[in-house]
Chains A and B, each alone.
Chain A
Amino acid sequence: MSQRSHRRVTAAERGRAAIFAALGDETRLLLIAKLCSGQPHSISELTVGSKLTRQAITKHLRVLQRAGIVHGVRAGREQRFEFDPEPMQEIKQYLDIVSEQWDQALARLKLFVED
């Protein structure tokens, strides 16, 4: 198994079911949207434009961190947060495989009943 696949397992191990739970919230989706830009963001930056307090944003970031979707990075004295797409990609790829198999199975069913 390649290095790349191996890293994917590690990311996935952190994520698991927590990923779906983490994504099931509007505020967290907005945070991800901001973090998707590529640059690590500070809590202050992430709080700008939000009705939520710094504490509330921090709480949501912790949920994303536990799911492995967001990582904390140190920039001097400041804590910044960056987005990690790997856990989500892993799940998406898995679902794509299962999805593909259903396509094939349903195609066989179609041939079977329309014969």
Chain B
Amino acid sequence: MNDRIEKRIELKASVSRVWQALTDYREFGEWFRVKLDGPFVVGEVSRGQITYPGYEHLKWEAVVQKIEAERLFSFTWHPYAIDTKVDYSKEPQTLVEFKLEKTPTGTLLLLSESGFDKIPAGRRMEAFRMNDGGWTQQMKNIEHHVTEKP
């Protein structure tokens, strides 16, 4: 068992295209479902509002860690900061990293999220609540939506 999540996905798009989708705050917001206040700046807090159906009341907050052109984009955040009454600012954060590699057919995107060992158990329970509250169904709705209107 590991305390990190790792994903690999092959994208049929150039590294530049993927890089833009990741680091341009408007494009990031399009696919991630968040309306960000402004561009990503290393060392600064990125703020915005979640646009995911059913979760629009939630704020997005992350601290940009690294922006290394067309190679690495990373930020730290509080996973599942879904209780608007809780101040999460003192809690440990996880690190999200997007790494890009050129392939013959496009781009290989490596995503990792690490540091879950530091996340308190109570917070992990919120994830269960969120999941029980129809998150999976929301996901299906979105999938349907994007398939209908790609």
Contacts and interface: CB of A to CB of B under 8 A. Distances in A.
B124 to A, nearest CB: 4
Main secondary structure of the interface of A (DSSP, over half): helix
A74 interface: no
Nearest to B118: A17
Contacts, number: 99
B39 to A, nearest CB: 18
Interface of B: 1, 3, 5, 7, 9, 11-13, 17-18, 21-22, 27, 30-33, 79-80, 109, 111, 113, 116-118, 120-122, 124-125, 127-128, 130-131, 135-136, 139, 142-143, 146, 150
Main secondary structure of the interface of B (DSSP, over half): helix
A105 interface: yes
B128 A112 contact: no
Interface of A: 5, 8-9, 12-13, 15-17, 19-21, 23, 88, 90-95, 97-115
